[in-house]
Amino acid sequence: MKELIPKNEYGLFADKKDIVRVDSLYVAEFFEKNHKEVLRDIRNIAAPNSGLSKEFAERNFAPGSYKDKQNKKRPCYYLTRDGFTILVMGYTGKKALRFKELYIRRFNEMEELIKSLVKARTEFPLLTENIKLLHEKPKPYHFSNECDMINRIVLGKSAKQFRLENNLEKGTSIRPYLTEVQINLIEKLQKVDIGLLVAFPNYEDRKRHLEWYKQKWEEKINE
């Protein structure tokens, strides 16, 4: 399965549809179970006579494969949060409960990262890929900081402040509410920032260069 965000140390990753999934191999490892047993449990849960709908089973238990130490292809599954929840319901004990809590937190963290990534992709599409290149394991703030920096330079405020002032719901894209001049400048700064992300990893250095570019651009259009 193609990954938007690569697997972390818990086997969690985001697929190309922005869905957080966990590799069954990692579930077996963390819950101290044989992977064959986990595969058996998943197949029993997803079986036609299990009581789950076919649609639910296909959406939440995606079949996959990996190569073992002997380079042989072996089966695995990629579980969504719902699939994971149903699977581990039957895993009991204090240690299992701790791992359930751990994975719930990690699912939450990955989902927050995806929200930031989707927002960046929507409002700052040209920057998203370079941010992912700059940070091996990008965090939500890597995207939000870059978005806010450009918004503050152009608008004098963050997107959150803009939404509050304009009575927009949380998560609403602000682009439809900007002027043509503002959108044009944001897009220009995005293009400049693509190169700056590689040349100047330091946030403050990029900010100074972008502020200088904005000043020069405004001087030019006001001539």
Mean pLDDT, residues 92-114 taken together: 90
For the cut 80, the answer to whether the pLDDT of residue 130 exceeds it is: no
Same-domain check for residues 134 and 194: yes
Same-domain check for residues 152 and 208: yes
At residue 93, the 3 state secondary structure works out as: coil
- Type of residue numbered 175: R
Same-domain check for residues 135 and 211: yes
Closest CA to 213 of 194, 192, 199, 197: 192
Residue 98: which pLDDT band, with cuts at 50, 70 and 90?
very high
- Does residue 118 lie within any of the structural domains? no
Residue 188: which pLDDT band, with cuts at 50, 70 and 90?
confident
Same-domain check for residues 188 and 92: no
Position 36 scores a pLDDT of 97
Same-domain check for residues 102 and 128: no
For the cut 90, the answer to whether the pLDDT of residue 151 exceeds it is: yes
- Does residue 117 lie within any of the structural domains? no
Closest CA to 106 of 13, 193, 205, 185: 13
- Does residue 119 lie within any of the structural domains? no
Position 207 scores a pLDDT of 94
Same-domain check for residues 69 and 132: no
- Give Dmax over CA atoms of the chain in angstroms: 74
Residue 3: which pLDDT band, with cuts at 50, 70 and 90?
confident
Same-domain check for residues 7 and 82: yes
Backbone angles phi, psi at 92, to 5 degrees: -115, 170
Residue 123: which pLDDT band, with cuts at 50, 70 and 90?
low
Whether the model clears a pTM of 0.75, i.e. scores above it, the answer is no
Query: Looking at per-residue confidence, does 79 or 188 come out higher?
Result: 79
Which range marks the domain in which residue 174 is found? 124-221
Count of domains for the chain: 2
- Does residue 62 lie within any of the structural domains? yes
* CB atoms closer than 10 angstroms to residue 76: 22
The set of residues, in sequence order, having a beta carbon less than 8 Å from that of 160 and lying 6+ positions away, is none
Q: Which range (123-127, 149-153, 188-192) has the least confidence?
A: 123-127
- Taking only the tens place, the pLDDT of each residue in 59-73 is 999 999 999 999 999
Q: Which range (118-132, 160-174, 209-223) has the least confidence?
A: 118-132
For the cut 70, the answer to whether the pLDDT of residue 167 exceeds it is: yes
Of 57, 77, 109, the residue that ends a domain is 109
For the cut 70, the answer to whether the pLDDT of residue 125 exceeds it is: no
Position 16 scores a pLDDT of 84
d(CA 36, CA 39): 5
- Does residue 190 lie within any of the structural domains? yes
- Does residue 115 lie within any of the structural domains? no
Of 64, 86, 109, the residue that ends a domain is 109
For residues 142-165, one letter each, b for 16 or more C-beta atoms within 10 angstroms of the residue's C-beta and e for the rest, the string is bbbebbbbbbbbbbeebbeebbee
For the cut 70, the answer to whether the pLDDT of residue 124 exceeds it is: no
- Taking only the tens place, the pLDDT of each residue in 31-52 is 999 999 999 999 999 999 999 9
- Does residue 166 lie within any of the structural domains? yes
Position 147 scores a pLDDT of 83
Same-domain check for residues 75 and 164: no
Unique residue bearing structure tokens 């682009």: 175
For the cut 70, the answer to whether the pLDDT of residue 169 exceeds it is: yes
